Amino acid sequence: MMLAAFCSLPAAQPYPSRAIRLVVPFAPGGSTDVLGRTVAQRLTESLGQPVIVDNRPAGGGTAGSDLVAKANPDGYTLLVGSIATMVFAKALHGHLSYEPMKDFEHLGLWVTFPLALMVPAGASATNLKALIEQAKARPGTLKHGVQGIGTSSHVFNELMCSMAGIKVINVPYKGGAPALTAVLVGEVDYAMVAVSTALVQVGAGKARALGVTSARSVPSLPGVPPIASEVPGYEALNFHGLHAPAGTPRAIASRLHEETTKILHRADVLERLNSLAMDVAASTPSEYRAYIEAQIGKWAPLVKASGARAD
């Protein structure tokens, strides 16, 4: 009887057997969203189930990250993480609702990339030196549009201001695209956004890039110097990677890592990401965990020294 009962139990369904939710904790149009949708489309094809992007733009990325941290660890709720949610959040928030190193399986580093400092096409400051001089002449009056308090644009700008000896006002938005829109309509004087977010407006002649946060110029923004050309020693790179709730079965985590690594190395994906100044990393889970730990060690003292806070 026991054997008959055992044999009647349904077999475990293979993974995946239904739609997967990929949480992007920022607004549509930004770098996290662009990358998430690029991977989700191809992951849908390789897994044979829909991978649906779910934008959750709140709390500088922490709201969407918390949602995934507390989700069922079954491989059906995933997160596109960033330096904001995995590195800065702990240093900036006095009471963060999740633990970046404990509450997630870090499945793989996807890309690293710089931000571009953007002003309207008709701005009086036509180079970074002029913008810094304006900020020094009018301390605490220039407005910087950030893609959420505690995000890369917030911290990268705080670092630049600290090193350049200037003070500005941070005005928060729900992502890079809304922050850049604020630049275009004159709500703020400048914004730091991902190159992927900047390119359309630069190409349309509506915005101008004055500098990039990487140590070197990027091919997709020819002629735009690194911020370090005016602020010696400055360098800051964002990153994106894949995360699942802690406790996700190893077989599922491995499958997701393998499939996304293949996608990142596809010729069409590499071409797309290179055009957006995103450098593909495609690390192993253990390498990604070590990378995040190293980034925390690097940035926590800088965040503390800058005085930046998210609450």
The reply to whether 35 falls in a domain is yes
- pLDDT, one tens digit per residue, over 191-227 is 999 998 999 999 999 999 999 999 999 999 999 999 9
Q: Does residue 219 share a domain with residue 127?
A: yes
Q: Does residue 125 share a domain with residue 103?
A: no
Residue 251: which CATH number?
3.40.190.150
Q: Does residue 223 share a domain with residue 119?
A: yes
Domain limits for position 202: 115-229
pLDDT in tens for each of the 311 residues of the chain? 444 544 544 456 899 999 999 999 998 988 899 999 999 999 999 999 999 999 999 888 999 999 999 999 999 999 999 999 999 988 888 789 999 999 999 999 999 999 999 999 999 999 999 999 999 999 999 999 998 888 889 999 999 999 999 999 999 998 889 999 999 999 999 999 999 899 999 999 999 999 999 999 999 999 999 999 999 999 999 999 999 999 999 999 999 999 999 999 999 999 999 888 899 998 999 999 999 999 999 888 877 776 667 66
Q: Does residue 166 share a domain with residue 251?
A: no
Q: Does residue 108 share a domain with residue 120?
A: no
Q: Does residue 191 share a domain with residue 146?
A: yes
Please identify, among 177, 204, 229, the residue that sits at the C-terminal boundary of a domain.
229
Q: Does residue 79 share a domain with residue 53?
A: yes
The reply to whether 12 falls in a domain is no
Q: Does residue 245 share a domain with residue 160?
A: no
The reply to whether 13 falls in a domain is no
Q: Does residue 244 share a domain with residue 215?
A: no
Q: Does residue 128 share a domain with residue 27?
A: no
The model's pTM: 0.85
State how far the Cα of 171 lies from the Cα of 278, in Å rounded to an integer.
Answer: 26
Q: Does residue 80 share a domain with residue 57?
A: yes
Please identify, among 167, 201, 229, the residue that sits at the C-terminal boundary of a domain.
229
The reply to whether 82 falls in a domain is yes
What's the structural domain count of the chain?
A: 2
Q: Does residue 108 share a domain with residue 241?
A: yes
